[in-house]
Structure 1
Amino acid sequence: MRRRLINSTLAVVLVVIAVFGVSLVIVETRTISNSAQERVDSEAVRLVSIVDSRILGDELISAGVLKDQVTGDRYARIEIPGRPDIHIGDKPTGDVIKSTRKGEQRETVTVQEPRSAVTREVGRTLLIIAAVALLAVIAAVLLAVRQANRLASPLTDLAETAERLGSGDPRPRHKRYGVPELDRVADVLDGSAERIARMLTAERRLAADASHQLRTPLTALSMRLEEITLTDDPDIVKEEATIALGQVERLTDVVERLLTNSRDPRTGSAVTFDLDEVIKQQLAEWRPAYRNAGRAIVSSGKHHLQAVGTPGAVAQVLAALIENSLMHGGGTVALRTRVTGNQAVIEVTDEGPGVPADLGARIFERAISGRNSTGIGLAVARDLAEADGGRLEMLQAQPPVFGLFLSRTPLRRPQDGDGDGEEQTVR
């Protein structure tokens, strides 16, 4: 591209020089020739006037007297009737510029000048024109090189940016070149880089979330299958298989929820559901893990609370909080349900040391963890809660209390034996 720009600019300049240079040479040659002819004519007129005045004054007319009146290397011949011709200077040979004038006393004055003088002046003019043309060519080449670099270098940068995008480096360069068309291309590439970066971030986030969210259900499922292999009692096998099938369904829901949330976090399938069912399911799923750790998990508070949301998402949020208490907390983990305004609240607390003071509200940021964990669980849990129109907050740092706030429907009237409003503990 650089060579094409330089060659095209140079071609344009050469055409302009050729057109205007030839015209200028022709005009200057004619001007110099006409000027030389006018000088010879003026010399002849002046010499005729001098001769007329001397004839009238009966003064001496000779070559010695008139030689100072002929300038340069011109030649003059004066013809006076009845007198010999007077020759002043050397008569030129070859092509000459000639002017003849007649005086009032019938004398004739002829002035000649060799055309070589005109040729020399034309040559000097041609040299000046050629020098100017050469300077114009040099200036055009320098300008073309500068312009080519200005246009080609940004294109090289843009090509490198496109190559980096193709190789998986989506960092935008935010570099502009002062050329509207090139800046437009740079804007498009930077926008593409930002979109690709967001896509890659979403993919990595989905992979991390899936790894974190699927680890616990798969572990629980593995434990159920191990219990099936260790027993010969058909009733126990049937019971454990039923629980395992339920866990597979929840695992499928987790995968579907992660995929849906990765496409559009605002997309949800909110329904009215019973919080008791979700809490019981979580207690049943986590009870073996807590039993193995020598700890207990209990629930208390209001029952038969109806909430609006996605049961699978709420289950994932509770699972993240329960797992967080298992890994970082201590003592008994308690799930308490209560009502505040038009919201149902599920509080998860334990008897552990709580959240370090240096973390505070940053506990919900990704890659933030008080221990050697991924720091993803609480961040995913908050995203899931917000996608369902709820919110997840840390109500108290020590001992730790996390609250999941969900919109609710009016309370169902209790049936006989429901015990609405009574606390129930499950161990």
Structure 2
Amino acid sequence: MRWRLALLVAAAMTVVLVAFLVPLALLLRDVAEDRAVTTAINQAQSVAAIVATADPQSLRLAAEQAGVTVYLPDGSTVGADAPATPAVRLAPQHGSFTVTHDGGREIVVAVQGLPGGTAVVRSFVPERDLRRGVTRSWLILALVGVGLLVLGLAVADRLAVMVVRPIRTLAAVSDGLAAGDLDRRAAAAGPPEVRAVAAALNQLAGRIRDLLRQERERVADLSHRMRTPMTALRLDAEGLRDPADAERMLGHVAALDRAVTAVIEDARRERSAPACDAAAVVAERVAFWTVLAEDQGRPVAFSAEPGPLPVAVPAGDLAATVDALLGNVFAHTDEGVGFAVTLRRSGLGAVLVVDDEGPGFPPEAGGRGVSGAGSTGLGLDIARSTAESAGGSLTVGRSPGGGARVTVALRPVA
């Protein structure tokens, strides 16, 4: 934008300077020509005034000093040696006039009333005298034009900086807000319009923070409401006759309680730049689901490279991702269908792969809120959002056994 403003000002000033300086240059040329011609006419007229009264010697001196030629009626000449031109021969009949030649201007003045006839005084102004001083004047005009153009560009650049710099600041603040830094604010600087945009952006940032805070509290409240049915589940579990079943159900209820607590804490905390050990988190969640898999007769295969595998994902978010992917396996495949979880190092990050031996994904699966299997369709979206929020990715496909495969790429810690 800065260079565009400079080019616009340069084009506008060039047009104005050309429209002003070109006519001025032509005027200076005409003034120089008129000055030289007027001087020559005055000199010719001064000599013509003494043709009839001065003696031949005085007339010769006056003609030589004036640089003119006097053609007397008897055919003799006085002054500069020059042959008679057509203008000189026409002067006795037509009087005084000026003739333009390729090499300059010829001025003839007729002196009538002499005893022998009419004398003619001729003066010639060469082209160099007609252009004397014009080149220097044009050079001065050109320098003045260039100076004005440079001055205009400097002023335009300063004005552009006054506009562009606050706009760049606004862009930087917008990028910071988009990255999640809701504390960023734009300074009120620049033209009034830019200050108005900065104020609107700051107001928008505050409104976004308020909405996010309200949304977090709403999520926390909704999660807290789950504690009542969880209490009922705990009481039912404690009332089971089989101690083993009671202990197992109480363990599940305790895990659910921890998950709800984590949701409430996650909803209320401000986002930062977290990190976790993917190897530890994935191993812990696979161990949890392995217990359930044993109850349903599901074969489980788990392989992971030795940690630590630091990734730029919060431990809670990564755990929720693993739970969502393995929960899909339990929800959309029959009992006895096995699954495999693989965690491998990729560069400095990690890649999580979940394969199952079920029927695979339906064609319409993969979008947010779209399942094709009667569920909410948010499981994959939770995993995808977790990966993409940290600069990773999620892809779905077919496992080697024909079932579903989900691959989650996790970015390393910066």
Q: Based on CA coordinates, which of the two structures has the bigger radius of gyration?
A: 1
User: TM-score of the superposition, structure 1-length normalised?
Assistant: 0.45
Higher relative contact order (CA 8 A, sep 6+): 1
